[in-house]
Amino acid sequence: MTWRQDKTLWGLTIGLAALLLLNFVVPDWFRSILTLSLARGSVALGLLVLWRCGLISFGHALYFGVGAYTVGLMSRYLGITDAFLTIACGVVTAGLLAYGLGFLLRQYRGIFFALLNMAFSMILYGVLAKLEELGSTDGISLETTTYLWYAPLGAENKTALFVFAVILTWGVAVLVHLYLRSTLGNMTTAVRENEIRLGYLGYSGERAVHAKFVVSGLLGGFGGAIAALTIGHVDPDSMVYWPVSGDFVFIAILSGTGNVTAPFIGALIYELIRTYAFDKFPEIWQLIMGGTLLAIIMFLPNGLWSLVDRWRGRKAAVATLRTGKEEA
Amino acid sequence: MSAVLEVHDLEKSFGAVVAAHDINVVVEEGETIGVIGANGAGKTTFVNLVTGHLPPGGGTVEFMGRDILGLSVRAIARMGLCRSFQVPQVFLSETAFDNLMMAYGVAEEDGAGLLTPLVEEERATRVEAHLARYQISEYRDVIGSALPQGIRKLLDIAMATVRKPKLLMLDEPTSGISAEEKFAIMDILMQALREERTTVLFIEHDMEIVERYVDRVLAFYQGEIICDAPTAQAMRDQGVREYVLGRRHEAGAEARAAASGRSSSGEETLAVSDLDVSIGATQILRGVDLNVPSGSMCGLIGRNGAGKTTFMRAVMGALSIQRGAVRLGDVDLAATPAHRRAHLGIGFMPEDRRLVPELTAEENILLPVWATGAENTRARLQWIYGLMPEVEEFRHRGATSLSGGQQKFVAFARALMCGTRLLLLDEPGEGIAPIFAQRMVEILDDLKKEGASVLVAESNDVHIARLLDRTFVIERGSIVDDA
Amino acid sequence: MDFELLLIILVDGLVYGSYLFMVAVGLTVICGVQKLLNVTHGALYAFGAYLTATLLILYFQVDWPQFGAFAVMLFAALFLGVLFGVIIERGLLRHLYHEDEHIIVLATFAAFLVLEDVLLLIWGTDPYLAPEPLGLLGSTEIAGLPFDNYSLSMVLLSAVVAAVLWYGLNRTQFGKLLLAVIHDRELAQAMGINVNRIFLLTFMLGSFLGALGGAYQAPAISVQPGIGVEVIVLAFAVVVIGGMGSIPGALIGSVIVGVARAFAVHQEPALELFVIYLIMAAVLIVRPQGLFAPAKPRTI
């Protein structure tokens, strides 16, 4: 498959263009919803990478939080507000943490993997919520973001951040897509269903899991850093507490594992439902969220993307019948 | 010719059980070797030890002149010693094409190469050719779980040959395949392997297969090789005839020819007709007809994997029935919730005992009574203790402190407790010391005198033949003999 | 550190541990029998606390015997246990038993979100206070500090619950049937046990215990939104530490977590939450099955 034939790359690029154009028409509040969707979508994309091989983490708020707090602490203690540098540091810190913990976590499967992740995320929560130096429960407010030598203010800064986040997320999504097409990235069903067979084919399931875990950690850190810049503030309760991890899993379930674009669409829908519910029905917004999740589990167990697959599947089946060997 | 594999003094034991002892084998390039032996003789253990899946207890293993003892499965596979599996280990939710593509990717890439795209045109061509070689091209886009059993077996073996192994070990290539298909599948397989000039060693129970495809036979018995000779010679070997082939082989073909759907007179306690059962994607039972007349003792005889346990689990309601009817007297069991069977008077003794570890022997025996609220239990318990006085002796001991044989008796007693109309006994004599097995036969004899309706599953009927009113022989999921 | 401080830490830890135990034990019972992690348990705790607080406020307006307050708590817990047992087990979980374990956890998480808002719809956001029962039992001075006997009585209640459950599981017929189900669902069914009914009863029992935890805690706290979110993740930690499905495990786990937390609170308050999850992670690393893994029969 060449670059030009890759529908996902086209989809991502069209999405990129559409978002950049939207920048001129949408109101501020919607732009911030879009940016947050990109942030949460990135974390959910990390969960997708894991979930394809049958693992779910109930603690990815850990990497989200590490990414966000790296940005926050750099702003507070080092006075570094450059978006490129802070995001890079947030991603690398989260990736290193995932790499380290990965040596341990790669030995676990099923519910133990999920819960051990939760334990680690709650350790971070405990630290952040208690230590004054780290802002305790109030968190840390960020200084205005700069971009290399460009230091816009007010509305211009918001535009800059949006454009910046959109382009960067596009790049990240493309990289993940390429990763998922690689031999290592394709070791999904193999890990989920049969690590013994994978071993006899010549690769270790644990190493595959470790690689995927690092990828998902990097994505968690990236999402956290973007979210920190967008909100302009980091705090433990809305970024590291266990329900935040629950939200990420929610988005992953809502999206489905079919495609790298799915988590971003899922995250946007999630943000929209949440914002709308919170605005119109403040008493029952959680009820609406919970009801949505239940409905997805019951009626659309493979997420929103399964609708796309179903629609495409019909076309693909026709094509296969006609030519015998159409779809790979 | 040069040696591909040299194994010397290989040892392995699990606790007190010796699974491999004093194993010496030299495999020459280009040979096709058959490994035969009864269940539990150590055949699969041998493969597991050589391929690095199990750490050996001692000995040396040299592959292509290199010591591979203690290396990982991965490293050994990369050197060119590959295997297939008794139960096909394909990725069930991926298509045949994607299964092989993954195998190729792992075989061809390493290090940074793992990050290059998996699916590329050249590789796809190789995968297509591979599918064609095993004659499964038409199943290219069918996912693993939807593949017919025989095709799944071929795919499993095809995946094992992606690395062009110097030596390929096949674990029962025809198990689970219906009798009609077995030669066709083996022909495809052996032809493909010859094209690749692969040295092959395969485990097989089916002597027709062994005689037809194998140059040399290794016969295992209780973890040791009792015969290593060219096929024809091995088949005549006294030890092989006694310990491996057994009585069934001689009866073999003639009995099968005599098989018929003979209808029996008298009332049926259990009446099963045309039963199909699958576990997951694999069809295990194919059109089983079986009747247990009231007051008779029937045998269900077949080797491991033939479908005995599946049959019993289906009757007990643990597996759902795809097709066919199962009736107890005039009750349709297919329409009865699983737990009602004990209430109806069916007692089941699972092969692996399955006692509740926290409870004493007697509490385990009484479980069905508590669950069903049956009456007259004191008398029944006394009757059971009359049959099995040894159980009464250890009735207050915890289940975990009992030996395997003792646990087996408790499981038997538990089945008797509610099995007033029908007893299903899954391999009562399996996995216990000969003295216990002998005692088990005596108890069955007493039970027969009491006029109980019983169905006993065993891998051979040597010990219980004289007790049986009727014998059903099950092979590859179908009843092939009924006498 | 002197002896008195140690004593205070110990008492504090036991009180906190028994609070954790009351919630965790119901969770572990459900976990052991049905093999699922039930997030709605946190909502049961919150419902127990809210319903009890409301009923107590009403109860103390009429001139009935004051110790009747304890009967009110029991009633509230029983009512909620049966009600939610039926709704959640019959209405939701029964349709999901064949699903992946992660999906079941998420479904209970979703149900938990729904219940959180139902709670708010019924009781609003204002805190409820019903401290009267606290005064009923007086107080005791330990190492120079006054402890109210109500809190201390929670240790007693936990011990009683643990003992009753242990007895029920190991010494009664129902308990032994339950053990058979825990150990081997298929075999239990073959022996004539109605596993579906056992599941419903277990879920009711677990829910009752969760609600009872909230009910008994209600007078000691300010009942307000968010108490369920906080408690469920603590209870998870305890259950994981003790071994999923093990009642002695929940007991030991609660005591360990309770004392460790009390130690942190008195010595290094910043570590309060940190220490609980550190223990959880450490236990998972060393013994993934928890401290008390279920018994296995001899295989050879």
- Within an 8 Å CB–CB cutoff, is residue C122 touching chain A? no
pLDDT (average), residues A54-83: 94
Residue B456's nearest CA partner among B477, B472, B442 is: B472
Does B299 share its domain with B193?
no
Higher pLDDT: C129 or A318? It is C129
| Interface touch C192/B356, C-beta < 8 Å | no
- Within an 8 Å CB–CB cutoff, is residue A328 touching chain B? yes
Instruction: Look up the CATH number of domain C3-286.
Output: 1.10.3470
Residue A246: its chain C contacts at CB < 8 A?
109
- Within an 8 Å CB–CB cutoff, is residue B406 touching chain C? no
Task: Report the DSSP beta bridge partners of residue B279.
Answer: B282
Tell me which DSSP letter residue A144 carries: P
Of B343, B353, B401, the CB nearest to C192: B343
Rg (CA), chain C: 19
- What amino acid occupies position A84? F
CA distance C27 to chain A (A): 15
Spatial distance between the Cα atoms of B192 and B194, rounded to a whole number of angstroms: 5
Residue A30 has φ and ψ, to the nearest 5°, of -70, -35
Q: Which residues, 6+ apart, have CB-to-CB distance to A57 below 8 Å?
A: A47, A50, A113, A114, A117, A118, A216, A245, A249
Q: What is the pLDDT of residue B32?
A: 93
Instruction: Identify the domain containing residue A163 by its residue range.
Output: 12-242
- Mean pLDDT rounded to a whole number for chain B: 86
Q: Which residues, 6+ apart, have CB-to-CB distance to B120 below 8 Å?
A: none
| Interface touch B316/C189, C-beta < 8 Å | yes
| Interface touch A298/C110, C-beta < 8 Å | no
Q: For residue B433, what is the nearest residue in chain C, using CA coordinates? A: C300
Of B17, B357, B368, the CB nearest to C191: B368
- DSSP β-ladder status, B346-349 and B422-426: parallel
Where along chain C do its domains lie? 3-286
Write out pLDDT tens, residues B397-428. 988 888 888 888 999 999 999 888 999 999 88
| Interface touch A201/B102, C-beta < 8 Å | yes
Last residue of a domain, one of B195, B226, B253: B253
Residue A58: its chain C contacts at CB < 8 A?
105
Largest CA distance in chain C: 67
Q: What is the pLDDT of residue B27?
A: 93
Spatial distance between the Cα atoms of A230 and A158, rounded to a whole number of angstroms: 8
pLDDT > 80? residue B282:
no
Q: For residue C272, what is the nearest residue in chain A, using CA coordinates? A: A126
Q: Is the sign of the CA dihedral A177, A178, A179, A183 positive or negative?
A: positive
Q: Find where tokens 């977590």 sit.
A: C257
Please give the span between the terminal C-alpha atoms of chain B, in angstroms, as a whole number.
Answer: 50
Q: What is the pLDDT of residue B257?
A: 39
Q: For residue C181, what is the nearest residue in chain B, using CA coordinates? A: B356
Residue A198: its chain B contacts at CB < 8 A?
106
Residue of B81, B101, B106 to mutate when probing chain A, most A C-beta within 10 A: B106
Spatial distance between the Cα atoms of B277 and B194, rounded to a whole number of angstroms: 36
Q: Are B432 and B371 in contact (CB under 8 A)?
A: no
Domain assignment present for residue B258? The answer is no
pLDDT (average), residues B200-222: 90
- Mean pLDDT rounded to a whole number for chain C: 90
Residue B466 class from Cβ within 10 Å (0-12 exposed, 13-18 middle, 19+ buried)?
Answer: exposed
This model of the complex carries an ipTM of 0.85
pLDDT (average), residues B68-93: 90
pLDDT (average), residues B119-145: 91
CA distance B125 to chain C (A): 37
Does B112 share its domain with B165?
yes
Q: What is the pLDDT of residue B1?
A: 54
Spatial distance between the Cα atoms of C162 and C29, rounded to a whole number of angstroms: 11
Q: What is the pLDDT of residue A248?
A: 96
In the three-class reduction of DSSP (H, G, I as helix; E, B as strand; rest coil), residue C145 is classed as strand
Write out pLDDT tens, residues B81-123. 999 988 889 998 899 999 999 999 999 988 888 888 898 889 9
Spatial distance between the Cα atoms of C285 and C188, rounded to a whole number of angstroms: 33
Number of independent structural domains in chain B: 2
Spatial distance between the Cα atoms of B28 and B38, rounded to a whole number of angstroms: 25
Window A:164-223, CB contacts with C under 8 Å: none
Strands (E), A109-241: 140-141, 233-234
Domain assignment present for residue A318? The answer is no
Q: Are A41 and A267 in contact (CB under 8 A)?
A: yes
Say what percent of chain A tops pLDDT 90: 62
Window C:203-242, CB contacts with A under 8 Å: 229, 233, 236-237, 240
Write out pLDDT tens, residues C33-78. 988 999 999 999 999 999 999 999 999 998 888 888 999 999 999 9
Q: Read off the pLDDT band of C294 (50, 70, 90).
A: low
Residue A1: its chain B contacts at CB < 8 A?
117, 119
Spatial distance between the Cα atoms of B479 and B306, rounded to a whole number of angstroms: 10
Residue B317: its chain C contacts at CB < 8 A?
189-190
Q: Are C227 and C64 in contact (CB under 8 A)?
A: no
Q: B213 in the Ramachandran plot: left (φ > 0), alpha (ψ -120 to 50) or beta?
A: alpha
CA distance C188 to chain B (A): 8
Tell me which DSSP letter residue B295 carries: T
| Interface touch A193/B82, C-beta < 8 Å | no
Q: What is the pLDDT of residue B249?
A: 43
Write out pLDDT tens, residues B466-482. 888 889 999 888 888 88
Window C:157-176, CB contacts with B under 8 Å: 170, 173, 176
- Within an 8 Å CB–CB cutoff, is residue A242 touching chain B? no
Write out the DSSP string of C246-267: -HHHHHHHHHHHHHHHHHHHHH
Q: What is the pLDDT of residue B110?
A: 86
| Interface touch C184/B356, C-beta < 8 Å | yes
Spatial distance between the Cα atoms of C181 and C189, rounded to a whole number of angstroms: 8
Q: How many CB pairs under 8 A join A and B?
A: 86
Of C190, C195, C299, the CB nearest to B342: C190
Spatial distance between the Cα atoms of B481 and B252, rounded to a whole number of angstroms: 10
Domain assignment present for residue B208? The answer is yes
Tell me which DSSP letter residue A107 carries: T
Spatial distance between the Cα atoms of B218 and B202, rounded to a whole number of angstroms: 10
CATH number for the domain that contains residue B95: 3.40.50.300
Instruction: Identify the domain containing residue B100 by its residue range.
Output: 3-253
Q: Which helix (H) or strand (E) holds C94?
A: none
pLDDT (average), residues C75-98: 94
pLDDT > 70? residue B68:
yes
pLDDT (average), residues A19-35: 88
Does B338 share its domain with B431?
yes
Higher pLDDT: A318 or A12? It is A12
Spatial distance between the Cα atoms of C210 and C204, rounded to a whole number of angstroms: 10
pLDDT > 80? residue A229:
yes
pLDDT (average), residues A30-52: 94
Write out pLDDT tens, residues B289-310. 999 999 899 999 887 778 899 9
Q: What is the pLDDT of residue C295?
A: 52
Of A186, A198, A200, the CB nearest to B118: A186
Residue B241 class from Cβ within 10 Å (0-12 exposed, 13-18 middle, 19+ buried)?
Answer: middle
| Interface touch B107/A202, C-beta < 8 Å | yes
Domain assignment present for residue A314? The answer is no
pLDDT (average), residues A111-133: 90
Spatial distance between the Cα atoms of B383 and B404, rounded to a whole number of angstroms: 23
Please give the span between the terminal C-alpha atoms of chain A, in angstroms, as a whole number.
Answer: 10
- Within an 8 Å CB–CB cutoff, is residue C221 touching chain B? no
Spatial distance between the Cα atoms of A58 and A216, rounded to a whole number of angstroms: 13
Residue C192: its chain B contacts at CB < 8 A?
339-343, 368, 371-372, 418
Of C112, C117, C274, the CB nearest to A126: C274
Starting at the edge strand found earlier in the chain, the sheet holding B224-230 runs: B81-83, B167-171, B199-203, B32-37, B216-221, B224-230
| Interface touch C191/B414, C-beta < 8 Å | yes
- Mean pLDDT rounded to a whole number for chain A: 89
- Within an 8 Å CB–CB cutoff, is residue A99 touching chain B? no
Last residue of a domain, one of B253, B277, B306: B253
Spatial distance between the Cα atoms of C239 and C276, rounded to a whole number of angstroms: 12
pLDDT (average), residues B69-79: 90
Last residue of a domain, one of B197, B228, B253: B253
| Interface touch C114/A110, C-beta < 8 Å | no
Say what percent of chain B tops pLDDT 70: 95
| Interface touch A290/C113, C-beta < 8 Å | yes
pLDDT > 70? residue A327:
no
Domain assignment present for residue B259? The answer is no
Number of independent structural domains in chain A: 1
Residue B398 class from Cβ within 10 Å (0-12 exposed, 13-18 middle, 19+ buried)?
Answer: middle
Spatial distance between the Cα atoms of A260 and B216, rounded to a whole number of angstroms: 54
Of A116, A118, A297, the CB nearest to C106: A297
Does B272 share its domain with B235?
no
- Within an 8 Å CB–CB cutoff, is residue B385 touching chain A? no
Write out pLDDT tens, residues B9-53. 999 887 777 888 999 999 999 899 999 987 778 888 899 999 999
Spatial distance between the Cα atoms of A302 and A321, rounded to a whole number of angstroms: 25
Spatial distance between the Cα atoms of C123 and C223, rounded to a whole number of angstroms: 10
Task: Report the DSSP beta bridge partners of residue A150.
Answer: A147
Spatial distance between the Cα atoms of B73 and B83, rounded to a whole number of angstroms: 10
Q: Are A71 and A139 in contact (CB under 8 A)?
A: no
Q: For residue A197, what is the nearest residue in chain B, using CA coordinates? A: B89
Residue B93: its chain A contacts at CB < 8 A?
189, 193
- Within an 8 Å CB–CB cutoff, is residue B10 touching chain C? no
Does B339 share its domain with B417?
yes
CA distance B101 to chain A (A): 9
- Within an 8 Å CB–CB cutoff, is residue B51 touching chain A? yes
pLDDT (average), residues A100-122: 91
Q: What is the pLDDT of residue B459?
A: 79
Least-confidence region, from B355-359, C21-25, C89-93: B355-359
Q: What is the pLDDT of residue A3?
A: 67
Does B288 share its domain with B361?
yes
Residue C147 has φ and ψ, to the nearest 5°, of -115, 130
In the three-class reduction of DSSP (H, G, I as helix; E, B as strand; rest coil), residue B267 is classed as coil
Residue A179: its chain B contacts at CB < 8 A?
115
Spatial distance between the Cα atoms of B107 and B80, rounded to a whole number of angstroms: 10
pLDDT (average), residues A89-118: 93
Does B133 share its domain with B189?
yes
In the three-class reduction of DSSP (H, G, I as helix; E, B as strand; rest coil), residue A3 is classed as helix
pLDDT (average), residues A220-231: 96
Residue A136's nearest CA partner among A72, A48, A58 is: A72
Write out the DSSP string of B104-149: HHHHH--GGGGGSBS--HHHHHHHHHHHHHTT-GGGTTSBGGGS-H
Residue of C97, C191, C200, C247 to mutate when probing chain B, most B C-beta within 10 A: C191
Domain assignment present for residue B424? The answer is yes
Q: Which helix (H) or strand (E) holds C41?
A: helix C40-59
Domain assignment present for residue B260? The answer is no
CA distance A261 to chain B (A): 19
Residue B140: its chain A contacts at CB < 8 A?
325
Q: What is the pLDDT of residue C206?
A: 95
Least-confidence region, from A193-207, B131-145, C164-178, C279-293: C279-293
Q: What is the pLDDT of residue C136?
A: 84
Q: How many CB pairs under 8 A join A and C?
A: 120
- Within an 8 Å CB–CB cutoff, is residue B116 touching chain A? yes
Instruction: Report how many helices (DSSP H) and strands (DSSP E) chain A contains, helices first.
Output: 14, 2
Tell me which DSSP letter residue B180 carries: T
pLDDT > 70? residue A325:
no
Q: What is the pLDDT of residue A324?
A: 30
Q: Is the sign of the CA dihedral A178, A179, A182, A185 positive or negative?
A: negative
